[in-house]
Structures are given as structure tokens and as C-alpha cells.
Chains A and B, each alone.
Chain A
Amino acid sequence: MSTIAEKFYSMDYGLAPEDPKEANLWLDRHHRRFGLFIDGAWRKPSTGEYVTTNDPSTGDALAEVALGTIDDVNPAVAAARKALPAWQALSGHERARYLYALARQVQKHSRRLAVLETMDNGKPIRESRDIDIPLVARHFYHHAGWAQLLESEFPGYQACGVVGQVIPWNFPLLMFAWKVAPALAAGNTVVIKPAMQTPLTALAMAELAQEVGLPPGVLNVLTCNDKAAQALVEHPDLDKVAFTGSTEVGRIIRKVTANSNKKLSLELGGKSPFIVFDDADLDSAVEGLVDAIWFNQGQVCCAGSRLLVQERVAETLYAKIRTRMESLRVGPPLDKAIDIGAVVSPVQLETIRKMVDAGVAEGARCWQPSTAIPEKGCFYPPTLLTDVHPAATVVQQEIFGPVLVAMTFRTPAEAAELANNTVYGLAASIWSENINVALDLAAQVKAGVVWVNCTNQFDAASGFGGYRESGYGREGGREGMLEYLAPRWLHTLPTAPAGAPGPSHLGTGEGISGAEDAGEETSGDDSRAATNPSPPSLSGPSIDKTVKQYIGGKQARPDSGYSFPVYGLSGELLGEAPLGNRKDIRNAVEAARNASGWARASAHNRAQILYYLAENMIQRRDEIAQRLARVVGEDQAAREVALNIERTFSYAAWADKYEGVVHNPPGRNITIAMNEAVGAIGILAPSEAPLLGLLSLVLPAIAMGNTVVAVPSERYPLVIGDLYQLFDTSDLPGGVVNLVAGRPAELAKTLAEHDGLEAIWCFRSNEEASFVRAASIGNLKQVFTNDGHAYDWFNPAQAEGRWFLQHATQVKNIWVPYGE
């Protein structure tokens, strides 16, 4: 120990340890052993097996936690199911009081939770104390509010039911709060599986829940092995699964839940760009990077790990970053003056090492500061990799460590291109003193959260979640609540018939059951045929029309060179439709992607085109109805066309009204929550209402700026002929809607697997929905299906409005701090 005089000369920081005494006493009170928290009580795991959780900064054992196995999953889910009716029967106010009580408990025990978190996870105590735990309390408070307002703010909605949740180790308690608070506020009951590296704070929360008298079974905490976790997400009695973690595991979860109608939200990985323009406050941008990539040892899904800097200031910025890195303090995370603590586990440490080695092997220049790193424990120094290129592994893949990769750009357009050159889309940070530049880029970046001149800002009222392979669904705010709610009518819908109705000659093995359902009089009436533009005037089979695919605003012959006959109600040949194949879908998706400018058309402009479309429909209503009548009967045809006109008006109305909101998070900040188009959407239309069902899906999509590749039902693919005339005469830009006829089941595969589509909507049979879900995992496109329900397309309460608009958009939260 040096003397005070020596310290006066050296002016080093010395030690400033947070005292872990109280947290240790708490662990001791539990004899450093924790069971499963099921049905309001602590239980031994069925096998009697426990695993140790360690302090990654020392390797010391902290406690033993139950290792639940498959046998423990059933009791946990059963407890949640049993608790559900009573929990849902509570008023919003009553649930609000529980959430409020939890928020208060978090505040009252904030330091114990912070110290526990740091001991278990290795993150600096400053972060757990000043960021994680306050955000946890804030999240419970905010959602106590949603519980209170549930009935008035979400009329007609109800909880999903029993929710299974799996959370990661990087923000153990914060992710617990993000999952549990909205689920409980909405009236769900929960089985949550914490990460086995960091289970302690979730268990502490279970105890707090006990203390506030949360009814048994409402919250169940299941520490368990991977098999049991998989059994949990696959459990047939769950209504919803929410997962935060790696994209790899997210894919698995999408796949194993594909056969069920569980609602799914995924918050996955990222390789978020951190974009610095030459007119940025460079010193502040450097501090932004510290908060971006050297926050929580870089183990942050939304870490700004990809630095894109304007060429002109690159060397200046790199020099400033290196200087700043020298003053980062790496060491024991319980020290109050430590910037970078321990990586969560030896495995993770090894992963980071290997990734950096691989980066260097591929030509990256690696720079690390001379800062002392503790010899024992899982520590990795802050690292800057320059001389990297977009093709480098370290640029493409998430490292999940304190490693920044840096590249340059020349123009804003190139910045946008590089920023979006990733399979991920979680967050982005943009630094410029020019608001025009910053907001322009914010609009272009494909990311769920954009921080202008700041980074890693979070608030319970502002939704968080990604685009692309960063997952789907949002956490926080109104959009986060919607993830745990479903329209009440959805629960009352009849089950969709198994197998899609379709002509048997298409090889789908299904009869024309829809036609029988329609039960309408048969068509073939001469007077109607007479109004047909190309009446069957020739003798023999009446082929009234040759329909082609509609791709990029043009009629296109099917690539296959085949057509298939379409028959009417009484089995008469109505015409022939093109038999679409993979290549037609490929071309259609290409056209849809090329029409992405539609999203930038003004909402007024989109509305005008939709009104014009409705106007043209009115003009042609009779002929359209007459043709349709031969398939669905006169009455249904008339209703479909009439409602179509109304529905088109509705979405023209919605086009400039389904808008975002502005949040006021703490601090001098506005957060602009924008509803953005999802992108290019593949649509598999239902057969029960061949025209109305198709347009009920196409219209909300295009009203919100999406482009569409739609496959009409096999029952009446000739509808393409009517629609392209309507679209062409309504000034709809080519490529916004593309229509491909063929065997839906075959085309569904190409659509669901196509990486150029951001979403797929399938409103057909349960089997097809399952198939589409499973096939969607390639690029983790968003999936919207009827979940095996039979929608009533003639009931506007079910078939149009917010439910569809919500799926046609994704929320981008743009944080804009201000002040001079």
C-alpha cells in the first residue's frame, strides 16, 4: 500500500469496490441453493439435480440453481394455465396494483439486485446500478399503467393466454422485466426460463413476486436445461412464445413452433451500424461509441459494432477512439470506477478471441490499448479492427464482445448502402450536426431503433425490436403490449377447414369445398355472359379469356408455358389460368423489390390511387361480379364486389391515418415512432372469398407502402384478369402488386423461402400456415396467418382495419435528442 503522499503524486484511481455483503447475505439466507419457482412455491427439480452459477470475474461459485428437465415443464405450464382464468378475471386496476407493487419492490431492493446482477453476469456495477435496474423499475411502472388502462386503450383485445418466455444472459433482469411486465399487464400468465449463466436476479424477482402476493402460478421461473427449454417452447398448452437471444436459436424456435398457432415474438442478434458524418461532434461520437460497443462488454444485441465513418474524418476519428480506449478501465465489475467488466463465461471469451483472430487472419488491423487486464477471470480488452471490408467475417457476424470494426464511406447514399448491407436490422446510430442529413439517413436505415447523436437509449414507452433477421415484435410501448394481446373475436372464430379448397386436378387433393359452402345458385345465365368483354361466342368449351401473370405492371406469360383450366360452380370451363412456377415468383419478387419506392410515395398519393381504384371498381362492378358469380354464386359475388369497393375506400382512408406517435422519454428527447412498411410481402389468398379475401390482404399491405406478390386462390385465379385492368387504369405503379397464379401449395414454398420477401401472409389451411412458418426461417421473415381460423371476410370488424395494418407495418423508433 502506498502512502497518501505517494497517491497524491500518482493520482491513480485506486480501488472503489461496491460491498457485496447484503447480496451475499441474501444468497446465504437461501443456503446458496434455489429451486424452481412454480405455482408460487419453491420446488425441487424432478431429478434433484442442481448446477452452479459462477461469478465470471473470479470464477467463484455463487449458488446452485435447480436444473429443471423435461419433467418439470408440465407442472410449470399447468400452474400457469390453472392461474390464468382468475388472473384474467381481475380488473385492469387490480393487475396494475401487482405490477406497481413489483416496481416498488425493485426500487426498494435496487442495490441488492444490482450487486447480484453484477456478481452473476460480470457487468460493471455502474451499469447494473444506473442503467439496468432503474430501467427494470421503469418497465414495471410503465406496464402497471398499461394494466390500468387496458380496457380503455385496447378495447376488444384480450390476453394471449399462457406465455413461455426464454431470456438471455446479457441483461438478465432487464430482459426479465421486458418479458414479464407486458405479459402480466395484458393478463397473461407466464413461465419464464432465465439463462443458466445468470439466473439469480430472476429468482430474486420470483421472491419479490411472492412478497407482493402475486397469485400462485401467474409467474413461474423455470431454471432448466436446453432440452426442457425446447420442451417449453414446444409445449402444446402455450399460447405465445417470446424469445430474446441469438438469431440461430430464434430460427430453431420459429421452426419448432411452426406447427402450432402460438404467437411468436423474437428479439435476436444485430450488427448495428454506427454512422459518423464529417460534420459530427467527433468527441461526442467517440463517447457514443463507448456507450455503444464498450457497454456491457459489447454483449449487447443492439451494440453499435459496425463503425461507418465518412472518409474525410476517418483518421481523426480513429485517433480519438484510440486515445479514448486508453482511458477505459477494465477490471473487477464490482468496482465502481470500472468501465469494462468480465465477459459472461469462458466460452464466450473464447468465441470473442476466435472471432478477432479470424478477423486479423482476414487482414484486419487490430488495435488494443495498453490498459491492464486482470489475469484471472473472463476479461477481454476493448478492441478496434480497422482495414476491414464488407465481406469480412468480423463485419458480417455478430461478435458479442467489446470489438468494434470500422469502415469508411464517401456519401450519404453509400452510408445507407453499407448500413443496410447486413442480414440484421436491430438498431443504428447516426452522428451529424445536420438534422437534414441525420433524419434522411434515419429514414433509410433498416432498423427498428435509430439513435440520432446518441446510442443505446432505452425507455419502457418506446418500442424496441428489429427488422430482418434481428427478429420481429416489439418490446415496450403500445406496440409491445400488442404482442401479448389478440383481438377478442379471434378467439371466437371457427376453425378453418383442414386443407385448402381447390380443384382436384391441381394435385392438392382437395375438392371444391368452398363452392359448396357458398351454396349459391349456379351461374351461366346468358344475360350475364353477354356483358362479358370476351363472351363465349364460339362453339365448344367456352374459353372466355386468356389470363396471364401480372408482374411489374405487365402481363407476362408463365415461365412454365403451361396453363390450367378453371371451372365454374357447375363444372363448366370458365377459362384458363397460367400455371406459375418458381421463376414466375422470382420475377414477381424482383418486380416487387424494384417498386420499393412506393413506400416513399406520400400517404396522400397512395390514398388517391386507392380511391381511384375504388372508382374504377364501381364502374366495372357488374362485369366483375358476373364473372365471379360463376364461381361463388351471384349473391356472394355481388357482396364481394360491393364490400371490395367499401374496403378499398377504407384503406384509402387509412393510408394517411395509420400513423406513428411521438414519445417523450426521460431527458430532452423526442422519440419518433414511425409506422414503416414491412417491405415486399408474399400473400397466399384464401379461397372462400376469391376476390374479397385476396384484396382484404393486398389492400392494407399496399396502403401502408408495401409491395406485394400475391397468389390468388386456385378456386378463381382468373381474378387476375379483372385486377390487372383495374390496377392499370388506376395509376398503380408497376410492381406494387404482382399476381401469380398457380398451385398455391407449390408457390407457397418459393415465397416462404424467398430471402427477398420481408413477410409472408398465408390465409389458407392450418397445414399451409405451418408449412409457411417452417419455411420462413431462412431470412426470418414475418409470418401472418389466420392461425387455422376461418375469418369472415364479409365482416369488416374482422376483415379490415388495425389488425391488418398492424401486420403491414413495423415500428421504427427514432430517438432525437435536442438542445443547444
Chain B
Amino acid sequence: MALQPIATTQNGARAAHPVPVVLNGRPLEANRRIPLNLDWIDQVRVNTSAVERRAATHVTRRTVKKDTQAAWLLRAIACMDLTTLSGDDSADRVRRLCAKARNPLQRSLVEALRIEELHLTVGAVCVYHAFVETAVKALEGSGIPVAAVSAGFPAGLNPLAERVAEIHRSVEAGAQEIDIVITRAHVFNGEWQALYDEIAAFKEACGPHAHLKAILGTGDLMTLRNVARASWAAMMAGADFIKTSTGKETVNATLPVSLVMVRSIRDYAERTGFFVGFKPAGGIRTAKQALDWLALMKDELGRPWLEPSLFRFGASGMLADIERQLEHHVTGRYSAAYRHPIA
């Protein structure tokens, strides 16, 4: 049975309990580039109303309570790309974020929940290229990877050579994960070969170790069929993750968009035997939303997609809400944000 080849985080959870990547009993391997198959893109069928209905009712079909809810919220932390992507980011701001990444929960909560053994950290810290070195240094020894947004993030319209060079620089600076944004116009114009070539070039630039997360910019793509087609092109081009949004679009991660992407991941795995991870990003701010997404992953793809190696939240504000919920779980009193150290 194929195990996930790379433990992207070194927290206790993963070290103690490796989860084999299996879909419907079939062991999967890590994704690698395959020739572009235009038939698969042509065969995309997405019924928007039906997808919306499934997304809307799924959250009413699943809920977790009490200790289970606490455990699921901890899982959300483990799968979180703690992110800062602001124009006013600074080295100290990034160091503060890294400190929070190492200890996402305050000691008293960890003890009350009796989860010391988990050595819980977030999944990664996500920053602009300019702060990769700062973050790598700040996270040294923690096993927490640094993710860099790259390739002309968030518009992705710089010349291709510059975007590829940017990836090289981030990888050299120590980024283990590269979040790139695709050229949305390729999707609008049906230029699948160009899209595929672009993403393949980015993946190539990542080298053998860094993971590529392809941001589809779903808020820009507008239609769910576009989202599905772009997902297929990105997966065939070798992306390790497909990711919804930059967080800079008007509409970012939504459940319908996520449903379409995870269904694409499932079909791709069934056709190729390769697994691809999923990262919803932007707009996910509450603990409740985190639970909704975890349930979606569990029901649509299964337990392996609840590991940080296959699932990440791109979020900056969600952790604060999770901390409050966990404190409420421990004390029975509703908590307030100021009681938890900020990131």
C-alpha cells in the first residue's frame, strides 16, 4: 500500500499515524505530469443548480459535537496554511505569525484538551517571496514548511519567464511549497495547451521536492464548468494541489466550487491512480466553516484527504475563531478573541 511519500508537516499526528492514500480501496500514488488529454476536459459536465443544492444540504447532513468537534477543530488547525499576504507585511509580522504557527493553541488549552502528544502545529506558513527566508528561519526545527505565493501572485500576468524565475528564487530561499496562480484568460479562451504548459513549467521550476499548489482563481472563472476544466488541466500538468482562490478575488472559496474541485480530484484519481490535494482559500473565517469543509472532504474523498499532505485551508482569521470555540469546549463559557494570543 502506497504511503504518502512526503510528510509535509512533522507534527506528532503525522509521525505517529501515517495514513495510506487510498480511494475506494485503491492505493494511489503522488501526482505527476501526464500528457494533456483534451477529451477529459471536453467531458466535463457540471450542473450548477445540482452542485449548489448538494453543497447547501451537505452542511445540514453533517455535524460534529463535543469531543469530536474539538478533535475536528484541532484537525482544522493541523491542515491550516497560516497566511499573511498583505501589502504591509513586515519581517516582525511574519516572525509573529511563525511563532503562532509553532504554538497555535495556548498551553492551558493544550493541557485541558490533553493533546500534548499531538505536538500540534499548523500545516504551513504562507507568505510572499520577500519573507520566505524570514519564515524559514523562524520555523527552523519545527518541521513546519514555508509556502510562498509566487508566479506574479495574485494577478499572475507577469511574463512567464519572470514567473518561473520567481519560483526558482523562492525554492532556493527554502520554500517547500509554491502557490501559483494560473492565467485565467487561458480558461476563458479554452487555451488548454497553453494553460497546461504554463502549469507544467511552474511544476518543473519547483524541482523535485517543493510542492506546487495551483490557484485557479475560481472567483474570476465565474462558472463551475470553467472551474472543473481548469482543475483537470492543472492536475494533468502535475500540480500537487489545486487551490480555489488567491483570497484577493471578490468571491473566494465557496462550497460549490470546492465540491466541483474535489469531484474532479476523485475522477482524476480513478482514471490515473494519482492523488492530488485540495486547498480552499479565502473567505473561510469561522470554526463552523472549517467543520463544513472537513466533512465535505471526508464524505467526497475520504479520510486520507483530512491529512495536511492532501488538504489545507488557506486562512488568516480562522484560527482565532477556532481558539475561542476550543476554549468554550474546555470551560463551557463563551470566549472572547482578546483572550487568545494573536498571530
Which residues of chain A from 653 to 709 have any CB-CB distance to chain B below 8 Å in the complex?
A: 667-669
Complex contact B50–A14 (CB within 8 A)? no
How many B residues face the partner with a CB closer than 8 A? 44
Stretch at the interface among B41-49, B122-130, B232-240, B313-321: B41-49
Q: Is B63 an interface residue (CB 8 A)?
A: yes
Which residues of chain A from 250 to 292 have any CB-CB distance to chain B below 8 Å in the complex?
A: 279-285, 287-288
Complex contact B62–A819 (CB within 8 A)? no
Give Cα A186–Cα B19 distance, bound, in whole angstroms: 63
Q: Is A89 an interface residue (CB 8 A)?
A: no
In angstroms, how far is the closest chain A Cβ from the Cβ of B311? 11
Which residue in chain B gives the minimum CB-CB distance to A282?
B45
Q: Is A323 an interface residue (CB 8 A)?
A: yes
Tell me whether A4 and B49 are in contact in the complex, defined as CB-CB below 8 angstroms, given that A13-B62, A14-B65, A126-B60 are known contacts: no
**Which residues from A are CB-within-8-Å of B67?**
1, 3-4, 7, 14
Give Cα A9–Cα B307 distance, bound, in whole angstroms: 10
- Kindly identify which residue among B45, B50, B114, B306 contacts A287, using a CB–CB cutoff of 8 Å: B50
Q: Is B52 an interface residue (CB 8 A)?
A: yes
Tell me whether A14 and B66 are in contact in the complex, defined as CB-CB below 8 angstroms, given that A5-B114, A9-B13, A283-B263 are known contacts: yes
| Contact-residue bracket for chain A | 35 or more
Complex contact B48–A820 (CB within 8 A)? yes
Complex contact B24–A8 (CB within 8 A)? no
**Which residues from B are CB-within-8-Å of A315?**
none
Complex contact A820–B223 (CB within 8 A)? yes
Tell me whether A8 and B75 are in contact in the complex, defined as CB-CB below 8 angstroms, given that A14-B64, A15-B65, A280-B45 are known contacts: yes
Q: Is B118 an interface residue (CB 8 A)?
A: yes
Give Cα A3–Cα B13 distance, bound, in whole angstroms: 14
Q: Is B71 an interface residue (CB 8 A)?
A: yes
Q: Determine chain B's interface SS by DSSP, over half rule.
A: helix
**Which residues from A are CB-within-8-Å of B62?**
13, 337
In angstroms, how far is the closest chain B Cβ from the Cβ of A125? 10
Complex contact B113–A4 (CB within 8 A)? yes
Which residues of chain B from 1 to 54 have any CB-CB distance to chain A below 8 Å in the complex?
A: 13, 16-17, 24, 45-54
**Which residues from B are CB-within-8-Å of A279?**
45
**Which residues from A are CB-within-8-Å of B113?**
4
Tell me whether A130 and B65 are in contact in the complex, defined as CB-CB below 8 angstroms, given that A8-B74, A284-B47 are known contacts: no
Tell me whether A126 and B61 are in contact in the complex, defined as CB-CB below 8 angstroms, given that A5-B117, A281-B50, A819-B49 are known contacts: yes
Give Cα A285–Cα B263 distance, bound, in whole angstroms: 13
**Which residues from B are CB-within-8-Å of A336?**
63
Q: Is A11 an interface residue (CB 8 A)?
A: yes
Which residue in chain B gives the minimum CB-CB distance to A286?
B54
Complex contact B303–A11 (CB within 8 A)? yes
**Which residues from B are CB-within-8-Å of A817?**
49-50, 53
Q: Is A433 an interface residue (CB 8 A)?
A: yes
**Which residues from A are CB-within-8-Å of B45?**
279-282, 433
Q: Is A454 an interface residue (CB 8 A)?
A: yes
The residue in B51, B66, B71, B223 that gathers the most chain A C-beta atoms within 10 A of its C-beta is B71
Give Cα A11–Cα B118 distance, bound, in whole angstroms: 14
Which residue in chain B gives the minimum CB-CB distance to A288?
B50
**Which residues from B are CB-within-8-Å of A283?**
263
Complex contact B50–A4 (CB within 8 A)? no
Q: Is B225 an interface residue (CB 8 A)?
A: yes
Q: Is B136 an interface residue (CB 8 A)?
A: no
**Which residues from B are CB-within-8-Å of A326?**
24
Contact with B along A779-820 (1 / 0, CB 8 A): 000000000000000000000000000000000000001111
**Which residues from B are CB-within-8-Å of A437?**
none
Complex contact B47–A433 (CB within 8 A)? yes
Q: Determine chain A's interface SS by DSSP, over half rule.
A: loop
Which residue in chain B gives the minimum CB-CB distance to A280?
B45
Which residue in chain A gives the minimum CB-CB distance to B44?
A281
Tell me whether A130 and B24 are in contact in the complex, defined as CB-CB below 8 angstroms, given that A15-B65, A282-B45 are known contacts: no
Which residue in chain A gives the minimum CB-CB distance to B77?
A8
Give Cα A5–Cα B51 distance, bound, in whole angstroms: 34
**Which residues from A are CB-within-8-Å of B50?**
281, 284-285, 287-288, 453-454, 817
Complex contact A8–B115 (CB within 8 A)? yes
In angstroms, how far is the closest chain A Cβ from the Cβ of B18? 11
Contact with B along A607-631 (1 / 0, CB 8 A): 0000000000000000000000000
Give Cα A14–Cα B295 distance, bound, in whole angstroms: 12
Which residues of chain B from 222 to 264 have any CB-CB distance to chain A below 8 Å in the complex?
A: 223-225, 263
Which residue in chain A gives the minimum CB-CB distance to B67?
A4
Give Cα A667–Cα B49 distance, bound, in whole angstroms: 9
Complex contact B60–A4 (CB within 8 A)? no
The residue in B294, B299, B306 that gathers the most chain A C-beta atoms within 10 A of its C-beta is B299
Which residue in chain B gives the minimum CB-CB distance to A287?
B54
Which residue in chain B gives the minimum CB-CB distance to A11?
B306
Tell me whether A7 and B71 are in contact in the complex, defined as CB-CB below 8 angstroms, given that A13-B62, A15-B65 are known contacts: yes
Give Cα A409–Cα B47 distance, bound, in whole angstroms: 22
Contact with A along B255-276 (1 / 0, CB 8 A): 0000000010000000000000
Q: Is B72 an interface residue (CB 8 A)?
A: yes
**Which residues from A are CB-within-8-Å of B16?**
9
**Which residues from B are CB-within-8-Å of A130?**
57, 60
Q: Is A327 an interface residue (CB 8 A)?
A: yes
Q: A9-B17, A337-B62 are in contact. List 14 more A-B contacts (CB 8 A).
A: A4-B67, A4-B114, A8-B78, A11-B71, A11-B75, A14-B66, A14-B68, A15-B65, A130-B57, A337-B63, A453-B47, A669-B49, A817-B49, A819-B52
Which A residues have a C-beta under 8 Å from some C-beta of B? 1, 3-5, 7-9, 11-16, 126, 130, 279-285, 287-288, 323, 326-327, 336-337, 339, 431, 433, 453-454, 667-669, 817-820
Q: Which 6 A-B pairs have the closest CB atoms?
A: A14-B68, A284-B50, A7-B71, A817-B49, A281-B47, A281-B45
Chain A to chain B contacts (Cβ below 8 Å), 24 pairs:
A4-B70, A4-B74, A4-B113, A4-B114, A5-B114, A5-B118, A7-B67, A9-B16, A11-B303, A14-B64, A14-B66, A15-B65, A16-B63, A16-B68, A281-B45, A281-B50, A281-B51, A336-B63, A433-B45, A667-B49, A668-B49, A817-B53, A819-B48, A820-B224
